[in-house]
Structure 1
Amino acid sequence: MSAHAHERVDYVDPRDRVVAQGRRTAGVPAGLLRRYAATVCTDHAGRVLLYRRTPSAPVYPDHYDVLIGGAVRTGEAYRAAALRELREELGWETATGLVEAYRIRVDDPHGPCFLTVHRWVADRPPRPDPEEVAWCGFVAPLTVVTGGYTPVVPAGADAVRRLLPL
C-alpha cells in the first residue's frame, strides 16, 4: 500500500469551498475537485529549481518539473501544504518569504483540481528526498520552456511562463 493511501484530503466545490473529505487514493466525488499546493523556487540569480521526478512517481514519471508540491490534506491551508511539501521533498524546514502567486483550476491526470502556486527565493541548497526527486538543480527559466529538458510537466512549464522573465 502506498504511503499516500491513508492520507485524507478535502474535496471542494467549483468555488473552492470544502464540502467533503476522503482518502487521497479514492476517486473524487462527482462535481467536486481536489486541491494541490506547489512552489516555484528560484535562487538569487533568477534561476529556477528544476527537478526530475522518479521513475516510480505515480503521475508524470521521469518528467522534469518546477512545481514542488502535492495534495492539500484535510484541514490544511494551501500555504501550510506548500511548506510541508518543501520540507518533505527538498529538506527545507522553513521558507521565509513564501508567497502565493496564483490559483487556477486545472485538469491533472486525476481530474479537475485547484492548483495554488507559491513563489520562494531559496536561501540554501536543497536536500532532495531520493524517493521523490531523481535529480534537481537551478537552471535558466528559458531552458525549461524551450525544450532544454524533456519531457516537462505541463503545469510546471506554464508556471515558468507566468512567473519568470524569459
Structure 2
Amino acid sequence: MQKYEDEILDVVDEHDAVIGTASRAEVYRRGLTHRCTFVLVRDPQDRVFVHRRAATKGYGPGAYDAFVGGVVGTGESYAEAAVREAEEELGVSGVVPRRLFNFLFSESGFSWFCDVWEARWDGPVQPQAEEIDWHGWLTDAELAERLTEWEFVPDGLEAYRRYLSHRSDTPGQ
C-alpha cells in the first residue's frame, strides 16, 4: 500500500493546466500548486454533512468542515476524485456529485485549485475513522451558527462562502 506522503499528484500552473507531477510530500514541502475536490453532501431533509477532521490530518487537524474531499491524484479527473473522496470519507458507494464551480485558494505561500461539488445522500454513512473524528447533519441555520462558534478549515470556509454566493446567484438552488 502506498504511503500518504508518497502519493503522486499533478502539479498545475495558475490556469489549472498540468505542468508536471510530484509526491504529496514534495508538493507540500515546495508549495506546489495542485488540485483538490470539495463535495458538500445534503441528506433528504436538506441538512449538510459536517465533520471534525481527525487530529492526525496534515492540514486543519481537529478543525471542522462542511465538505468531504481531498487531493486529486495524478491523471485523475476532478469528477473521479469527487466520487472517490466522497465515498471514502462517508464510507458509502453510489455518490453522484454535481459540479458547481472551481477557484484557486491561496494561504501562507501555498495554493491549490478547489473544485466544488454538491451531492445528495439518503442512506446511512460510516465515516472513515482515520479522516473524521465526529460528524453530524446540520440545517443551514445550524451550520451558519456553528461557523461563528467552531474553527473551520480555511479552504473549506472559503469554499462554503463561495457556495452560498453561487447558490444565491443560481436560480432554482
TM-score by length of 1: 0.87
Gaps of 5+ in 1: none
1:23 matched residue in structure 2: 23
Is 1:145–1:157's contact at 8 Å kept on the other side of the alignment? no
Amino acid at match of 2:67: L
Aligned mates of 2:163, 2:111 — CA distance in 1: 22
- 1:1-166 alignment runs, 5 A limit: 3-27=3-27, 33-96=33-96, 98-108=97-107, 111-147=110-146, 149-164=149-164
Equivalent pairs counted in the alignment come to: 164
Cα pair 1:64 1:153 within 8 Å, conserved? yes
Q: Which has the larger displacement, 55-64 or 71-80?
A: 55-64
Deviation of 1:108 after TM superposition, in Å, equals 4.3
Deviation at 1:65, TM superposition (A): 0.3
Distance 1:84 1:116 in 2: 14
Return the structure number with greater helix share. Answer: 2
Whole-Å Cα distance in 2 between the matches of residues 113 and 95 of structure 1? 24
Deviation at 1:25, TM superposition (A): 1.0
| Distance in structure 2 (CA, Å) of the matches to 1:121 and 1:9 | 28
* 3-state SS of 2:95 partner: coil
Name the aligned partner's letter for residue 103 of structure 2.
I
1:23 maps to a residue whose letter is: S
TM-score normalised according to structure 2 size: 0.84
- Compared CA separation, residues 25 and 32, structure 1 to 2 (3 A): closer
3-state SS of the aligned residue for 1:25? Answer: helix
SS in 1 for 2:123: coil
Does the aligned pair in 1 maintain the 2:36–2:71 contact within 8 Å? yes
Q: Which amino acid aligns with 1:104?
A: F
Counterpart of 2:142, as a letter, is T
1:5 deviation in Å? 1.7
Closer, same or farther: CA 129–30 of 1 in aligned 2, 3 Å: closer
Tell me the SS of whatever aligns to 1:56.
Answer: coil
Unmatched tracts of structure 2, length 5 or more = 169-173
State the Cα distance separating 1:80 from its structure 2 match: 0.4
Distance 1:14 1:153 in 2: 23
Shift of 1:145: 3.2
CA contact (8 A) 2:27 2:34 kept: no
Letter in 2 for 1:128: P
**Counterpart residue type for residue 153 of structure 2:** V
CA separation in 2, counterparts of 1:161 and 1:64? 15
Aligned-pair identity in percent equals 30
